Amino acid sequence: MYIIKNCCFIRDEYFALNRSLAQSVVIHTLFSKMSQQKLQQQQQKFADLFKQLDKSGDGVLTVQELKRGLKEVYGAEVDDKTCIDMFMGIDSDDDQKCTCDEFVKEMCKGSRQEAFKEKFNSADADGSGKLDKAEITRIVKEVNATGITEEEIEKIIAEVDKNNDGQIDYKEFMAMC
């Protein structure tokens, strides 16, 4: 599964679904510094890999092509069950075919948790392992999110802060993601 999980793809729409506005603002502001250019480079990297794995050139990856490609490109010998499981994880519409779009999307979301951890740590200015009101306020100001009041920042913290210590730790942060 390492091969499936070695890139990050962040979509603002994903974070906005089924979340309160306050939580969405926090997540969006933490990830706003991720450059669009880097994202496009990552997507292109995996689109190129898809083309390399798609030996038939038909724009659809088969289980056999995936297995052969894992061995040729990465030197990874995977058993049939593992390869089928990987394929099913990529085939998001369950049509027994893996398109380039499905492949790129799945490959890019694998390191999402690592990206969350990296962004959380960069927001945690004092290295305490928690985001306090000042750190969240700083993030909001850095991205020039006008209209977010101190009361709304306090509401964000209150909604996410499950242990009621007035700060958002990494576990609480991940629970809202």
Which parts of the chain have pLDDT scores under 50?
A: 1-19, 32-35
CA-CA distance, 28 to 41, in Å (whole number)?
A: 21
Query: Where does a domain end: 109, 131, 147?
Result: 109
- Residue 143: CB atoms within 10 Å: 16
According to the model, what pLDDT value does residue 145 have? Answer: 59
Q: What pLDDT sits at residue 160?
A: 85
pLDDT of residue 110: 56
Residue 3 belongs to a domain: no
Domain-located, residue 129: yes
Is the residue at 5 inside a domain?
no
Tokens matching residue 61: 């990856």
Same domain? 115 vs 160:
yes
What is the C-alpha to C-alpha distance for residues 129 and 144, in angstroms, rounded to an integer?
24
CA neighbor of 117 nearest in space, from 159, 166, 173? 173
For residue 139 the two structure tokens come to 């993030």
Domain end among 109, 142, 160: 109
> Is the same domain home to 69 and 87?
yes
Same domain, 49 and 104: yes
Pick from 61, 80, 109: which residue ends a domain? 109
In a domain, 99, yes or no: yes
Domain limits for position 129? 12-34+111-176
- 137 and 101, same structural domain? no
pTM of the full structure: 0.48
Q: Residue 46: give its domain's CATH number.
A: 1.10.238.10
Indicate if 149 and 136 belong to the same structural domain. Answer: yes
- Does residue 6 belong to any structural domain of this protein? no
Please indicate, yes or no, whether residues 105 and 49 belong to a single structural domain of this protein: yes
- 18 and 53 co-located in one domain: no
- Rounded to 5 degrees, what angle do the CA atoms 174, 176, 15 make? 105
Count of the separate structural domains present in the chain:
2
Are 24 and 77 found together in one domain?
Answer: no
Residue 13's pLDDT is 34
> Does residue 7 fall inside a structural domain?
no
